[in-house]
Amino acid sequence: MAIEYGSVKWATNQLRYAISIMFGGDKVIVSLPKGRIQLAEYLKRDLERHGYTKMVETLRHQINRYKKQLKEENRRKKQVKTEESKPI
């Protein structure tokens, strides 16, 4: 049985997929973080067009959470690089 485009079941699957794109690693999609965010944003707009505001809010929160996680990882990497380059 096919899932009808625009149905609640479809919207739930879209939300799950968008979240798994960001947090599922390379198991779901092989892409740079920027590409993952773009794809999640596209799915968010699609949900918005169909009026699933609660799911849009959830996805917006998850996107911001993912961006914050990336920012923290980049900060840690820079800190490690700085510590490695310091003379002893």
Quick check: 87 pLDDT over 90?
A: no
Between CA 9 and CA 67 the distance in angstroms is 27
**What residue numbers bound the domain in which 14 lies?**
8-85
Q: What is the structure's pLDDT at 88?
A: 62
Mean pLDDT across the chain, nearest whole number? 90
Which tokens go with 2? 């096919």
Query: For the chain, what is the domain count?
Result: 1
**Within a domain: 19:** yes
Task: Give percent of the chain above pLDDT 70.
Answer: 94
Quick check: 20 pLDDT over 90?
A: yes
**Within a domain: 1:** no
**Cβ burial 21-42 (10 Å sphere, 16+ → b, else e):** bbeeeeeeeeeeeeebbebbee
Q: What is the structure's pLDDT at 19?
A: 95
Q: What is the structure's pLDDT at 62?
A: 97
The CA–CA distances, whole Å, from 13 to 20, 55, 75 equal: 10, 11, 33
Q: What is the mean pLDDT of residues 79-86?
A: 73
Q: Convert the pLDDT of each residue in 39-81 to its tens digit.
A: 999 999 999 999 999 999 999 999 999 999 999 999 988 887 7
**Within a domain: 2:** no
